[in-house]
Structure 1
Amino acid sequence: MSPTRRLAEALIARASVTPQDAGCLDLIAEHLAPLGFVSERIDSGPGDFRVQNLWSKRLATLDTPVQKAIKTIVFAGHTDVVPTGPLAEWASDPFTPTERDGKLYGRGSSDMKTSIAAFVVAVQEFLATYPKAPLNIAFLLTSDEEGPATDGTVVVCKALKTRGERLDYCIVGEPTAVERTGDMVKNGRRGSLSGQLTVRGIQGHIAYPHLARNPIHQLAPALAELTAMEWDHGNDFFPPTSWQTSNIHGGTGASNIIPGQVVVDFNFRFSTESSPASLQSRVEAVLQKHQLDYELKWTLSGLPFLTPPGDLVTAAQAAIHAETGLQTELSTTGGTSDGRFIAQICPQVIELGPPNASIHKIDEHIALADIEPLKNIYRRVLENLAAAAVR
């Protein structure tokens, strides 16, 4: 069994359901210590919901000074996993790593404990060959990515910013591939802006509508207009901004009552062509146009970020091609990730990991054939960045 798979299985065997870490970070710190990494915990949150966060860094040790400033690359990810769902539906225990039909099964196998294992082993191999490489290397890991994400990476990033820590490159190990490791890299993500709209009416008997005011009826034209709106056209890197209604709550449960209010939950996944302020003002304008009696609460989960082709993207593209022969596709599609927090303090952030077809599903798995190439890609990125640092 390869070191990467061995470490991945040790991590999968720990039932680290959000926000629990179940000892994963301690295990990783143990592997990093002999390499010269200095680890610290930046935990956050109350009581049983306290989130475990690890910041571990190794400074470059050089024989002779170099002309350029030493750059820092960060490997970022999460040790927490989503709940298993019904255990009876799993073909094997989700926290007992199991090989079957050329795949490694277990919760977190794809999202994203194998990536973390590959990070660690890639760094071990890189430093064994290039112990004096002109790169600072760091790990930023949390147990709060699958949950609210309020006490995890965002807390560490704030702490690093306060102390003036400089980050240059970051690879987030999220599962980004479609069919084969390396076929897609996320070089950005859309922003996420949610709203909860409450439209107030007057409750009454459904047989006497003239004595009531139905908020569902009042909302319907405004909702239709919002649904049909074109928010922006996107750009070369981002698809157009998308609006989606996720929930509508109205009524008392009785069929003969006009409700006194209706509540709508909606979300924007927005490109860099729109801002939270512009989206909010356009929604408010529609609601006011339809003369609704309403209350609107906004939640900004993350701003969009983009890493254009440059040092990190070039290093990753070359690493993927050298290892797999693939010409990787750059994409900003999909959901949000902790990259949105890291991008606030790091100018170049990409997400690069294994295929994502089974993530969050029953019988989550990763193909055994994807494990070593993933580790090798990470190692090759380090090699490419180190080579660029001395040119």
Structure 2
Amino acid sequence: MSAASTPVIDPVALTRDLIRKPSVTPADEGAMDVLERALTALGFHCRRMKFENIENLYARRGTTSPNLCFAGHTDVVPTGSTEAWSSGPFEAEVRDGILYGRGAVDMKGGIAAWVAAVSHSLAASEVPGSLSFLITGDEEGPALHGTKRVVETLMAEGEVIDACIVGEPSSSQVLGDMIKVGRRGSLNTWITVQGKQGHVAYPDRAANPAPVLAKLLAALDAHTLDEGYPEFPPSNLEITTIDIGNPATNVIPAEAKARLNIRFNPTHTGDELMAWLNAMAGEAQAASGLQITLEHLCSGNAFLTGPGPFIDGVQDAVEATIGRRPVASTTGGTSDARFIRAMCPVLELGLVGQTMHQIDERVPVAEIEALTGVYRTVIRTYFDRA
């Protein structure tokens, strides 16, 4: 496809088309089709990669290096009460220059802005290498059959991605004030203490699991995991639920359960934290004589893209476009960047995240257009310096 024949994409119109597909995880509802049509029109080879019931897309234009990738997700979180929205969450209504809809910020607006930026870059012959898209429908959910599976497949096939921009809404207060260059890891643990049910008046005939669980949780909560790590705050362990489910006042329960989450910096790995939790539970089991079982799910380890040409180039591009140099941050929750880092340097750059996951999620139309300009400069700067 020649530069002259390359269509120029309207980022706002594409955002609205994507929002109108109610792609609440794990449903796709045609959102990936909308994106595939836009990318095919730009000359991308689109490969749908479906794992279990999750739609994923890897699209590439060009065969030479370097390969600059954009990653994101078309799935969105549930809307909450639709009656609480000022307009339908999937109507994509624009009022007073503001676009309303689930996914407007997180992150259909970011996807559309990058597609539009690519269309401008291609039309101006500013891409001497390759561009690619890695888009999933499983970022807001368990994330088991989305980006993680796509990355594993691409790596097994020998596909090379040289750098990746994830379009998560990284900006904090105003567009371009922050990029995310790392994220903490996340570990969920379910704890079950098995006791013996009995009458509260005869504790010698029962084995109460509640105080055993309470002591274990107190010991875990009192432990200082670390004092922080360069560019990261200290790791934190949070007890998220304690469940016994005992409706009676005169019955010692048979079991007690709890769940905790650890957000950890690169001082630790998920495996190391699981081993520590298992050891603590083992000590409590030996002291109490009650069986304690733990189940773990580590959704990703911590990562950090260190200072260098990639980050410098993105910061320079943002500053050159909107006059604001973004701060490199590691705050916030997890993102699919944790999987992509296995392939290449990765960072997050996107819209302002103030209304993501909220009722009346919204974004100024002018901000989507401004982000398109930022992305185009990022693309041009990357290939100029490659």
When normalised by structure 1's length, the TM-score is: 0.92
Deviation at 1:276, TM superposition (A): 2.0
* Alpha-carbon distance between aligned partners in 1 of 2:299 and 2:124, rounded to the nearest angstrom: 41
The residue number in structure 1 matching 2:60 is: 57
Q: CA deviation at 1:101?
A: 4.2
Instruction: Indicate the residue corresponding to 1:10 in structure 2.
Output: 17
Structure 1 residue 361 displacement after superposition: 1.1
* Alignment deviations for residues 83-105 of structure 1 (CA, whole Å, 9 cap, x no partner): 11111111100011122344211
C-alpha separation between the residues in 1 aligned to 2:138 and 2:92?
Answer: 22
User: TM-score normalized by structure 2?
Assistant: 0.93
> Which of residues 119, 141, 150 in structure 2 aligns to 1:147?
141
Which aligned runs of 4 or more in structure 1 are off by greater than 3 angstroms? none
The alpha carbon displacement at 1:278 in A equals 2.5
Q: 1:234–1:272: 8 Å Cα contact kept in structure 2?
A: no
Among residues 231, 234, 238, which one is paired with 2:228 in the alignment?
Answer: 234
Deviates more, 1:201-210 or 1:266-275: 201-210
How far is the alpha carbon of 1:60 from its aligned partner?
5.5
Deviations 1:295-340 (A, max 9, x none): 1111111111111122321121011111222221111121111111
Unaligned runs of 5+ in 1: 62-69
1:286, distance to aligned residue in structure 2 (A): 2.7
Match of 1:65 in 2: none
- Tell me the SS of whatever aligns to 2:297: strand
**Secondary structure of 1:74's partner?**
strand
- 1:77 — aligned with what? 72
Does residue 103 in structure 1 map to residue 98 in structure 2?
A: yes
SS at match of 2:243: strand
> In the alignment, does 2:357 pair up with 1:360?
yes
* Matches of 2:354 and 2:251, distance apart in 1: 45
Alignment of 1:150-189 (within 5 A): 150-189=144-183
What do you get for the CA RMSD once the two structures are aligned? 1.6
Percent identical pairs in the alignment equals: 43
Determine the structure 1 residue equivalent to 2:33: 26
Q: How does 1:1-391 map to 2 (within 5 A)?
A: 3-45=10-52, 50-59=53-62, 70-130=65-125, 133-290=127-284, 291-292=287-288, 293-346=291-344, 348-389=345-386
Q: Which amino acid aligns with 1:367?
A: P
Q: Distance in 1 between matches of 2:56 and 2:359?
A: 27
Deviation per CA, 1:7-41: give whole Å up to 9, x if none: 11111111111112222222222222233211111
Does the 8 A contact of 2:270 with 2:300 survive in 1? no
Q: Give the partner amino acid of 1:86.
A: S
Tell me the distance in 1 between the aligned counterparts of 2:329 and 2:278: 31
Quote the offset at 1:154 in angstroms.
1.3
* Distance in structure 2 (CA, Å) of the matches to 1:116 and 1:29: 12
* Letter of the 2:351 counterpart: P
The structure-2 alpha-carbon separation of the partners of 1:129 and 1:335, relative to structure 1 and needing over 3 Å to count, comes to same
* Unmatched segments (≥5 aa) in structure 2: 1-8
SS of aligned partner of 1:159: helix
**Structure 2 CA distance, aligned partners of 1:280 and 1:31?**
44
Cα separation, 2, equivalents of 1:163 and 1:123: 26
Q: Hey, what does 1:66 align to over in structure 2?
A: none
1:144-188 alpha-carbon deviations (Å, 9 max, x no partner): 111221111111111101110011111111111111111111111
Bigger shift: residues 231-240 or 137-146 = 231-240
Q: CA deviation at 1:193?
A: 1.2
Q: Secondary structure at the match of 1:363?
A: coil
Query: Is the Cα contact below 8 Å between 1:191 and 1:305 reproduced in 2?
Result: yes
* Corresponding residue for residue 64 of structure 1: none
CA distance in 1, matches of 2:274, 2:70: 35
Structure-1 separation of matches of 2:332 and 2:82: 28
SS at match of 1:380: helix
* Cα distance between partner residues in 1 of 2:251 and 2:170: 48
CA contact (8 A) 1:180 1:370 kept: no
